[in-house]
Chain A
C-alpha cells in the first residue's frame, strides 16, 4: 500500500485513541475533584494532568493560572491545543478523509459522524452542561471506531497499520496515566510527598481513591477485583496495568498488539524496529512488579515512554515516509 496511505491510517487510529484517553483522564480528574480535599490538592490534580500530557507550558501561555474550568476547556475544545479532544477528533477525521477510499464506508462514516456530532455538542453547550456524558460519549465513539474496523475491514496492511496506531498510542497513554500521581504530588508511589502531619493514615486514604480512580479511568475497577480478589493496593494496580497481558489496556497487552501487527507488515528495512519492539515486549512479559518498583515507577515509566517514542519514529522511517 502507499506509504502516505499507511501514514494517514496510523495517525487516524492514534488520534482516535488519544481522544479517548484524554476523555478518560479528564473524567478521572473530575471524579477526584469531588472528594473532600484542599483546594490546593484539587489544583494539583489538574496540574498533574497538564504535566503528563506535556502541555503545562502551552497552557500557561494561553491561560496563566490553573483552574479546573480552563484546563477542561483547554483539553476538550481548544483548537489551538493539538492534543485537545476536538483537535484529535478533527485530525482523525482529516486523516480518514485523506484515505477514505481505503476505509470501508462504515469506518469512514463513523469517523465523519463522530466529528460532526462532537462539534455539534460543543456548539449547543451539551459539553458544558454535562462533561461526564460527553466523556462517556467520546469513549464509546472510540470503541465504535475500533469495533467497526474489526468488524468490516479486510485484514490487510491497512488494518495492521490502524491497529498498530491504536496500540502504540494506548501504550503511551496508559504509561502517562500511571505516572499521573508522580506529576501531581511528586510522590514516587505511596502517599503524598512531604507526608503531612496526619502521616500514614491520610496517605493511605489518598492512595485508595487515587488508585481506584486510575482503575476506573481504564474501566478496570471490576477487573481488578476479579483478578486479585483483594483490596486496592498500589503495587497490584501497577502490576495489572503494566504486566498483565490479559488486561486490554496494559502496557504488555499493547505491546503484544504492536509486535503482532508490526510482524505482519515487516519489510526489508524494518528489522531493527521489529527488534526494538520485541525487546520491549519481552521486558514486559518477563518483568516483575517488585523489580520495577525497586528501581522506581516513575523512572520505569519515563524510560518506557522514551522507548515507545523511538518505536514510533522507527515505524515512520521504515514504512510511512521512507526516503
Chain B
C-alpha cells in the first residue's frame, strides 16, 4: 500500500496551511486537559442519550446502547476544496436523480447503450411498481449521503474520490450536528480563532426540502418522519431530526390508509399526512406491496403513493441507482443527462460480471478490495492487503460461484487525520459523508460527517465495526 495522504501534515513537521492555527493551539494544550475534555464529552453524550443500538446479541445481551466514539481533533477542509466538492456533489446527485427517473420511465440510457438493461431490471432494488409513476419535481433521492475519500497521488498530493452513493436512507447527519455542538461547548476559543462554516441550519434545509416536494394540491403540507422504532440503531437520529423540524415522529402503527389517503391516529382523531420522510427500507414499508411479514410499515401506503396523495422521501426504488454494480456508470450518467464532465472522481472499478475484469480480479485478490454488490455497513467485503490467505481463498470461491455479485477496486490508501488514541495522538484513516438535499433546488451544509477508523491501519470506518466520528470544519476564506 502506498503512503497515505495526511490531512494535517504535508511531511513530518510540515503542517498544511489550513491546519496551522489549529496545530499551534493543540501544541499549547496540556495532555490532561485534552483527556478531561474527552471524558466530559463522553459524559455529555451519554446523558443526552446520543447512542446507537447494536444489532444482534453479544456479551452484554441484545439491544445494548453504545456511544459512537467521538474524536476531539477536527477534520479541516479549506474553502476552495469544499466549493469544488460542492459543485461536484450537486452535479452527481442531479444526474443520479435523472437516472432514477429514466429507469422508471423511458430508459433512454439503456437505449443509448450506456447501461446494460439487465443491470437495471435484474437488480434486486429495481421496483417495477414504480414504472410510470411521476413523483413531485422528478426528485427521487431527496436526501443523499455521498461517501468521499481522499487518496494520495504518486506526487504526494491528494485527490478526492466518491466511494459510494447512498440514495436510500442514509444516516449519520445527527452526529454531524451533535459533534459540532460538542466542539463548540468544549472548545469555544477555537471557534473564535477559526472561521468555521456553520452546519446547524441543516434541519431547516431538510424541512424546506420535504415541504417543497409535497403533492402539488396541498398548500400547508403535514410532514412526518417514519421510524422503525426505538430499537432501530439510528433511532436517536430519527427522534432528533423530528424534534428539530417540529414534525411528528411516527411508527407504522400510527398510520393508516383510507381511500388512498394516508392518515395518522391522533388524540383528536385521524389527520391527513402529505409527506413522509421515511427511515425504513422499501422492503418494510407496505406489507401489502412488499414483505408481507413487515409490522413496521403501513398497509396500503404504496397505493396512496402511486395515486400521488402522499410523497415518500426518499422515493421507492432509489436503490437501483446506488448499487455497487451501477456505481461504475455514474460518470457516464453525468455526461448523458447533463452534458457535463464529471467533477468528482470515481474509484476505478472492476465489474466481476465481465470476464476480463473477473480474470484480473482473481489474479490480484491480494491487492484489491472486493465488495458485495448489495453489501452495506462494511460487511461482506474483502480487503486484500489485510486479509489472510484463507480469507482470500474463501472469497475466491464466493466470487467464482457468483461473479455478478461482486465488484473490485484498487485498495485506496484513505487519507489519515491525527486522532486521539490510547497511546496519544496518531494518524487514523478517515472518510467523509456530505448530505445532499434535493427539493426545489439542491442544497447542502458545508462539510458532512467525518468517520474515522480507530484501529491502527484499519480502513473500515463504519460505526458498527469500531469506527468513530470527528467534527468536520469547512474553513471560510
Chain A 96-120 against B: per-residue CB contact (8 Å), 1 yes, 0 no? 0111111001001100110010000
Select one of B46, B240, B251, B269 contacting A116, CB under 8 A: B46
The A contact surface, by secondary structure, is helix
The A1-42 residues at the B interface (CB cut-off 8 A) are: 1-6
B47 interface residue (CB < 8 Å to A): yes
The reply to whether B239 and A101 form a contact with Cβ atoms under 8 Å apart is yes
The reply to whether B49 and A108 form a contact with Cβ atoms under 8 Å apart is yes
Chain B 221-253 against A: per-residue CB contact (8 Å), 1 yes, 0 no? 000000001100001000110110000111101
Contacts of B235 in A (CB 8 A): 97
The reply to whether A113 and B254 form a contact with Cβ atoms under 8 Å apart is no
> Shortest distance in angstroms between A80's beta carbon and chain B's nearest beta carbon?
16
| Cross-chain pair count, CB within 8 angstroms | 62
> Shortest distance in angstroms between B230's beta carbon and chain A's nearest beta carbon?
5
The reply to whether A98 and B269 form a contact with Cβ atoms under 8 Å apart is no
> Shortest distance in angstroms between A8's beta carbon and chain B's nearest beta carbon?
10
B48 interface residue (CB < 8 Å to A): yes
Least CB separation from B224: chain A residue: A2
The reply to whether B253 and A112 form a contact with Cβ atoms under 8 Å apart is no
Tell me the complex Cα distance, A109–B50, Å: 11
Chain A 44-58 against B: per-residue CB contact (8 Å), 1 yes, 0 no? 000000000000000
The B262-284 residues at the A interface (CB cut-off 8 A) are: 264-269
Tell me the complex Cα distance, A3–B254, Å: 8
From known contacts A98-B230, A101-B243, A102-B243, infer whether A2 and B49 are also in contact, taking CB-CB under 8 Å: no
> Shortest distance in angstroms between B324's beta carbon and chain A's nearest beta carbon?
34
A268 interface residue (CB < 8 Å to B): yes
From known contacts A2-B248, A2-B254, A97-B49, infer whether A322 and B239 are also in contact, taking CB-CB under 8 Å: no
From known contacts A100-B239, A101-B240, A101-B243, infer whether A1 and B49 are also in contact, taking CB-CB under 8 Å: no
The A54-108 residues at the B interface (CB cut-off 8 A) are: 94, 97-102, 105, 108
The reply to whether A5 and B230 form a contact with Cβ atoms under 8 Å apart is no
The reply to whether A4 and B265 form a contact with Cβ atoms under 8 Å apart is yes
> Shortest distance in angstroms between B237's beta carbon and chain A's nearest beta carbon?
11
Tell me the complex Cα distance, A247–B49, Å: 36
The reply to whether A2 and B264 form a contact with Cβ atoms under 8 Å apart is yes
A267 interface residue (CB < 8 Å to B): yes
The B contact surface, by secondary structure, is mixed
A299 interface residue (CB < 8 Å to B): no
Select one of B239, B240, B251, B269 contacting A4, CB under 8 A: B251
The reply to whether B47 and A109 form a contact with Cβ atoms under 8 Å apart is yes
Tell me the complex Cα distance, A161–B230, Å: 21
> Shortest distance in angstroms between B410's beta carbon and chain A's nearest beta carbon?
43
From known contacts A101-B249, A109-B48, infer whether A2 and B265 are also in contact, taking CB-CB under 8 Å: yes
A265 interface residue (CB < 8 Å to B): yes
A159 interface residue (CB < 8 Å to B): no
> Shortest distance in angstroms between A271's beta carbon and chain B's nearest beta carbon?
14
The A249-282 residues at the B interface (CB cut-off 8 A) are: 265, 267-268
Least CB separation from A157: chain B residue: B267
The reply to whether B266 and A2 form a contact with Cβ atoms under 8 Å apart is yes
Contacts of A268 in B (CB 8 A): 269
Point out which of A3, A108, A116, A161 has the most chain B C-beta atoms below 10 A from its C-beta: A3
Tell me the complex Cα distance, A102–B243, Å: 7
Least CB separation from A115: chain B residue: B49
Select one of A109, A112, A265, A322 contacting B265, CB under 8 A: A322
Contacts of B230 in A (CB 8 A): 94, 97-98
The reply to whether B249 and A116 form a contact with Cβ atoms under 8 Å apart is no
The B366-400 residues at the A interface (CB cut-off 8 A) are: none
The reply to whether B47 and A4 form a contact with Cβ atoms under 8 Å apart is no
Least CB separation from B229: chain A residue: A98
A135 interface residue (CB < 8 Å to B): no
Least CB separation from B241: chain A residue: A101
> Shortest distance in angstroms between A7's beta carbon and chain B's nearest beta carbon?
9
Tell me the complex Cα distance, A13–B195, Å: 44
The reply to whether B269 and A267 form a contact with Cβ atoms under 8 Å apart is yes
The reply to whether B267 and A1 form a contact with Cβ atoms under 8 Å apart is yes
The reply to whether B47 and A101 form a contact with Cβ atoms under 8 Å apart is no
Please report B residues at the A interface, Cβ cutoff 8 Å. Answer: 46-49, 229-230, 235, 239-240, 242-243, 248-251, 253-254, 264-269
17 chain-A/chain-B pairs, Cβ below 8 angstroms: A1-B267, A2-B254, A2-B264, A2-B266, A2-B267, A3-B265, A4-B265, A5-B249, A98-B230, A99-B249, A101-B239, A101-B240, A102-B249, A116-B46, A267-B267, A320-B267, A322-B269
